[in-house]
Amino acid sequence: MNAKGRVFKYGDNVDTDVIIPARYLNIADPKELATHAMEDIDAEFVKKMRPGDIVVATRNFGCGSSREHAPLVLKENGVSCVIAASFARIFYRNAINIGLPILECEAAANGIDDGDTVSVNFDTGVITNETKGETYQAAAFPPFIQSIIKAGGLLKSLKERGE
Amino acid sequence: MGMTMTQKILAKHAGLDSVCAGQLIEANVDLTLANDITGPVAIREMEKAGFDKVFDNTKIALVMDHFAPNKDIKSAEQCLECREFAKKHGIVNFYDVGAMGIEHALLPEKGLTAPGELIIGADSHTCTYGALGAFSTGVGSTDLAAGMATGKAWFKVPSAIKFVLKGQLRPWVSGKDVILHIIGKIGVDGALYKSMEFVGEGVSSLSMDDRFTICNMAIEAGAKNGIFPVDDKTMAYIKDRVHRDVTAFEADADAEYEQTIEIDLSALGLTVACPHLPENTKTIDELGHIEIQQSVIGSCTNGRIDDMRAAAEILKGRKVNPNVRTIVIPATQEVYLQCIEEGLTKIFIQAGAIVSTPTCGPCLGGHMGILAHGEKSISTTNRNFVGRMGHISSEIYLASPAVAAASAVAGYICAPDELK
């Protein structure tokens, strides 16, 4: 599995309130909800992003609320991968559970700039910055988490196990 | 090697003799929680995946608190979805308007959380119940759906930071100042993926409400959970609330901690977190003159009776500044009633504040006190992110109920002792 796209780059502590503001959490339809993604940090995000694009940030991406709506609106908009130096723990779980690929890689988070074109090989964890001709190595997921991703999310993996 | 208090609770619930930091485990949960925002997503995910039964209808709590009483039609539909699910599955602990309170104040009050238990909730402030010596942590809706269906959850066993509390808090200084001070010190990711274990002789001087406030904001340092040891105050709190056997776990003497931080409670001052991160803390004397247009006293962080009493003590016989909309929100029906019985409600209303029915409301910019562009609010809530309480150019200063009440009177952020 691979991803390739243009990068939208953000800084430290991007919180779930700016990824999807709470004032929209009464919206049940994921497509409608997705039109407000990143609205309070980057009002142009939804207009500018194309399916396959990649979000890159530095430390503690997705901090704050447990709202699963946050990874969901990124996935719904077609974000192919989120790369950060570190993730807040609930966002990290949520992304894996709903099948939004994420990679923790400090070198990539520091080396990649807004607008760069980046490709990701999820099997090897190699991130290639095609604009700058650099590569970065992300840590592989433990086998248990790989099995969730492979099944297409937590609930599907539980069903596969016969729960 | 010894285990931390958190690791012992996790080992017990995973059916293992011991666990170590970094280990992936599957554990049985004693309670799952969702609200009117995260519940509908979990319900839909559970049904979409083909799970048609819940693991135990007595171990699921659904609390309609975020946008309830329903603030608009969409919110009403979300509560309806939860209500229908609760009926279909015979959910015993479904809390609707009239019975509901803010979830993290409500569940301990109802005796649904107890020492030694393992609780997951689709709300980041689920870490509050660590005050009782429980392991509790926030998860997303899909984790919660899995928990409701199977009674299990997966965890990576956390390492821990030990906070050794010494001394006693000075007058007006509270649990809120303790946790804001700690977040200011270690940062919003200072405890990322880790437990925050609070120990030391200073613990016994902290009220249960202080401990709830401290554990509540562990997530604001990125922590997986915050946890206090079980002592006489814990047992007194649960005495008439919890009617089942409980286990008080203790960390092993040789438990390994990544870091040990000493906190001298008697050295702490009134602390305020400035926009737009909870780590941007200053003591009140470092703050300068900041005029405010709103003061919010409530939330899962500071909507308990101690908080109401602290605010009332300051507002008694005083008037709030006419430029400050002062909104008091007792967190539960029990706290609300207690405010009435103790005469606190009268004090608030005579001071020119409003007293709202329990709701999360303004804390997350839902309703009941949204800020216009450029406005500033002092607030006893837990987050001061961009746009959290309204317009993206509005600003939130986080503080204790005493500071929020004093600031409401003064019209600018100040300490209670500054009031005439």
Asked if A47 contacts A38 with a C-beta cutoff of 8 angstroms, the reply is no
Q: Would you say B368 and B327 are in contact if contact means Cβ atoms under 8 Å apart?
A: yes
Cβ contact B139–A93 (<8 Å): yes
User: Which of B264, B283, B312 corresponds to the end of one domain?
Assistant: B264
In this prediction the ipTM stands at 0.95
Q: How many CB atoms lie within 10 A of CB B397?
A: 23
Band of the pLDDT at A150, cuts 50, 70, 90? confident
Distance from CA of B373 to the nearest CA of A (A): 13
- Per-domain residue ranges of chain A: 2-160
> Could you tell me if residue B228 is left (phi over 0), alpha (psi between -120 and 50 degrees) or otherwise beta?
beta
Q: Which pair of tokens denotes residue B37?
A: 């925002």
Q: For residue B403, which phi and psi values (nearest 5 degrees)?
A: -70, -40
E strands, B241-324, are 259-264, 271-273, 281-283, 294-297
Domain shared by B131 and B55, yes or no: yes
Provide the shortest C-alpha distance from residue A87 to chain B (in Å): 9
The helix (run of H) or strand (run of E) holding residue B31 is: strand B31-35
pLDDT-derived band at A160, boundaries 50, 70, 90: confident
List, for residues B314-355, the tens digit of each pLDDT value.
Answer: 999 999 999 999 999 999 999 999 999 999 999 999 999 999
Q: Cα–Cα distances in Å, from B334 out to B99, B362, B366?
A: 9, 21, 23
Is residue B21 domain-resident?
Answer: yes
Contact flag B364-A22 (C-beta cutoff 8 Å):
yes
pLDDT at A152: 83
Q: Does A146 touch chain B (CB under 8 A)?
A: no
3 state DSSP class of A5: strand
| Residue B131: CB atoms within 10 Å | 30
Any chain B CB within 8 A of the CB of A142? yes
Tokens 């940090």 sit at which residue?
A: A41
User: In this structure, which amino acid lies at residue A24?
Assistant: Y
- Is a pLDDT exceeding 90 seen at residue A45? yes
* Three-point CA angle A27, A29, A33, nearest 5°: 60
Q: A144 and B154 in contact by Cβ < 8 A?
A: yes
Q: How many CB atoms lie within 10 A of CB B2?
A: 12
Query: Strand (E) positions, B141-276?
Result: 152-156, 160-166, 195-199, 225-227, 259-264, 271-273
Residues B127 and B229 in one domain: yes
**DSSP code of A87?**
B
Final residue in a domain of this structure, among B231, B264, B297: B264
Q: Are B30 and B58 in contact (CB under 8 A)?
A: no
Contacts of B142 in chain A (CB under 8 A): 68, 94, 97-98, 153-155
B256 and B276 inside one domain: no
Report the domain count for chain B: 2
Rounded Cα distance, B74 and B313, in Å: 39
pLDDT score, position B169 = 98
Any chain A CB within 8 A of the CB of B222? Answer: yes
Task: Tell me the count of A-B CB pairs closer than 8 A.
Answer: 132
Q: Which chain B residues are within 8 Å of A30, Cβ to Cβ?
A: none
Vertex A84: Cα angle to A83 and A85 (nearest 5)? 140
pLDDT at A56: 98
Q: How far is residue B213 CA from its own chain's centroid? A: 6
Is residue B420 assigned to a domain? no
Nearest to A159 among B49, B124, B277 (CB): B49
Residue showing tokens 């986080």: B398
The reported pLDDT for the residue numbered A161 is 82
| Residue B384 within a domain | yes
Residues B83 and B229 in one domain: yes
Q: Alpha carbon B139 to chain centroid distance?
A: 15
Average pLDDT over residues A85-107: 96
Q: Kindly state whether residues B225 and B259 are assigned to the same domain.
A: yes
Instruction: Supply the pLDDT for residue B322.
Output: 98
Same domain? For B183 and B295 the reply is no
Whether residue B303 sits in one domain with residue B255: no
Q: Report yes or no: B160 and B151 within 8 Å, Cβ to Cβ.
A: no
pLDDT score, position A2:
87
Residues shown for chain B: 420
Answer whether B277 sits within 8 Å of A13, measured CB to CB. Answer: yes
Give me the domain span that covers residue B214.
5-264
Tens of pLDDT along B165-186? 999 999 999 999 999 999 999 9
Q: Which residues of chain B have pLDDT under 50?
A: none
pLDDT value of residue B81: 98
Looking at the structure, tell me whether residues B66 and B109 fall in a common domain: yes
d(CA B221, CA B386): 17
Question: Among residues B264, B299, B328, which one ends one of the domains?
Answer: B264
CATH no. for residue B386? 3.30.499.10
Could you tell me if B60 and B167 lie in one domain? Answer: yes
Based on the fold, state whether residues B100 and B84 are members of the same structural domain: yes
Strand pairing report for B135-138 and B118-121: parallel
Which conformational region is residue A125 in: left (phi greater than 0), alpha (psi within -120 to 50 degrees), or beta?
left
C-alpha B291/C-alpha B375 separation (Å) is 9
Superfamily assignment of A2-160 in CATH?
Answer: Aconitase, domain 4 (3.20.19.10)
- Taking the CA atoms of B233, B13, B8 and B218 in sequence, report the sign of the dihedral they define: negative
Structure tokens that stand for B149 in this block: 């269906």
The answer to whether the beta carbons of residues A38 and B112 sit under 8 Å apart is: no
Judge if B343 and B404 occupy the same domain.
yes
Q: Are A112 and A83 in contact (CB under 8 A)?
A: yes
Q: DSSP for B111-147, please give it.
A: T---TT-EEEESSGGGGGGGGGT-EEEE--HHHHHHH
pLDDT tier, A144 (very low <50, low <70, confident <90, very high otherwise): confident
Q: Cβ(B136)–Cβ(B155) under 8 Å?
A: no
Phi (first) and psi of residue B319, to 5 degrees: -120, 140
Do the domain assignments include residue B116?
yes
In chain A, beta strands by DSSP E: 2-9, 54-57, 81-84, 102-104, 117-121, 126-129, 134-137
At B62 the three-state DSSP class reads: strand
User: What is the residue whose two structure tokens read 């609320």?
Assistant: A65
Q: Are residues B227 and B346 in the same domain?
A: no
